[in-house]
Homo-oligomer: A and B are copies of this chain.
């Protein structure tokens, strides 16, 4: 199967969680919107037409299926890329964890855009500062503390123990992204989440992931994506 991934070409964003899974599995895929020429037009056409249009990128074309929503894309890819155990209970558990990551990603996005994605960051800066303070006081400990506990229960290094899953790849991206966006806060906080940091290191050391991170397929972090480095938010 040759997959087609449709996502904004200039950012890691939510699409990165899908890219990491495809890369770790060595899957054959085209990052459609990053093709020179008419890539983004092709993406727009998929959203505007058809009987079952996706609401938003990223979406994946897998044969005749078009699947949107990151967690659902990964739920679909998981067994096909051998990135989730086979049993129904394990697949549900992975999907449930990924949906909690989805919730966390939305809140990370809202640290810089708490009022509206339609407004510039500069036009919602006081709200962003306040949101970010609350986020680091209450939400980061709740979310990352939860995943740290999941890793303790699984005995690590991954959420299913010794076998890597797509959830681990997304948790890697969460740690990387928080380090990029909030270097000072994250440096102070990491002592609370040793298992997540160890997971991050394990994932970074996997040959295909390491090669991907060095390649130009990995878009650098920047201030258009989910994780944005604004010094004034890094209190």
- Selecting from A35-43, A93-101, A188-196, A225-233, the interface stretch reads A93-101
Interface residues in chain A, defined as those with a beta carbon under 8 Å from any beta carbon in chain B: 50-55, 64-65, 67-69, 71-72, 76, 89, 92-93, 95-96, 99-100, 103, 106, 110, 114-119, 127, 130-131, 134-135, 137-138, 146, 149-150, 153-154
* Cβ contact of A99, chosen from B69, B93, B118, B134, cutoff 8 A: B69
Interface pair B153/A138, CB less than 8 Å apart: no
Interface pair B51/A67, CB less than 8 Å apart: no
Inside 8 A of A89's CB, which chain B residues have their CB?
64-65
Q: How far is the CA of A48 from the CA of B76 in the complex (A)?
A: 30
Copies of this chain, whole number: 2
* Cβ contact of A96, chosen from B54, B106, B146, cutoff 8 A: B54
CB-CB under 8 A for A96 and B116, given A51-B153, A146-B55, A153-B51: no
